[in-house]
């Protein structure tokens, strides 16, 4: 058994602070993790904003489609507009076309659009309407 002289053994009490290698390794680890975490937060924020806009557009489209159906304005064919001062960033357009080979049914498609980051985005809602009495 080899015994080391007492002066070469470092005890927990005699070692105070961090070595230069430990500090550098910590800085490198932080330099790698922080940008990745910030990118993840940025992506999450953008996705949350996109989801919010899609939900708003879907709700507006459903409301407008119901309004067109209840008032009978769907018979007028192609129409478009906006949602007023409450929703200035959204616009809508409605299109009526024949559905397959049916004479009594037509397809009403409502599109709600808004400008997203870098491009225009939209949501489509489609329903069949009975046009036998009109």
Contact 56, 116 (CB under 8 A): no
Q: Which of 36-40, 60-64, 67-71, 117-121 is least confident?
A: 117-121
Domain ranges (residues) in the chain: 18-130
Backbone angles phi, psi at 58, to 5 degrees: -65, -45
When the pLDDT of each residue in the chain is averaged and rounded to a whole number, the result is 87
Average pLDDT score over residue span 20-25: 93
Give the per-residue pLDDT at 75: 87
Q: Which of 83, 77, 88 is nearest to 61 (CA)?
A: 83
Query: Given CA atoms 31, 32, 33, 38 in this order, what sign does their dihedral have?
Result: positive
Q: Which of 1, 23, 127 is nearest to 68 (CA)?
A: 127
Architecture of domain 18-130: 2-Layer Sandwich (3.30)
Give the per-residue pLDDT at 10: 57
pLDDT in tens, 44-98: 999 998 999 999 999 999 999 999 999 988 888 889 999 999 999 999 999 998 8
Q: What is the pTM of this model?
A: 0.69
Q: Which of 87, 74, 71, 52 is nearest to 125 (CA)?
A: 74
């Amino acid at each position: 058994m080899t015994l080391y002289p007492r002066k070469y053994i470092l005890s927990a009490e005699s070692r105070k602070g961090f070595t230069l290698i430990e500090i550098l390794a910590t800085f490198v680890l932080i330099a790698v993790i922080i940008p990745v975490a910030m990118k993840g937060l940025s992506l999450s924020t953008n996705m949350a904003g996109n989801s919010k806009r899609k939900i708003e557009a879907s709700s507006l489209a459903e409301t407008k489609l119901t309004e067109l159906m209840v008032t009978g304005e769907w018979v007028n064919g192609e129409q478009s507009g906006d949602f007023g001062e409450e929703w200035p960033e959204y616009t809508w357009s409605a299109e009526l076309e024949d559905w397959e080979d049916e004479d009594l049914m037509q397809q009403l498609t409502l599109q709600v659009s808004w400008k997203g980051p870098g491009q225009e985005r939209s949501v489509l809602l489609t329903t069949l309407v009975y046009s036998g009495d009109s």
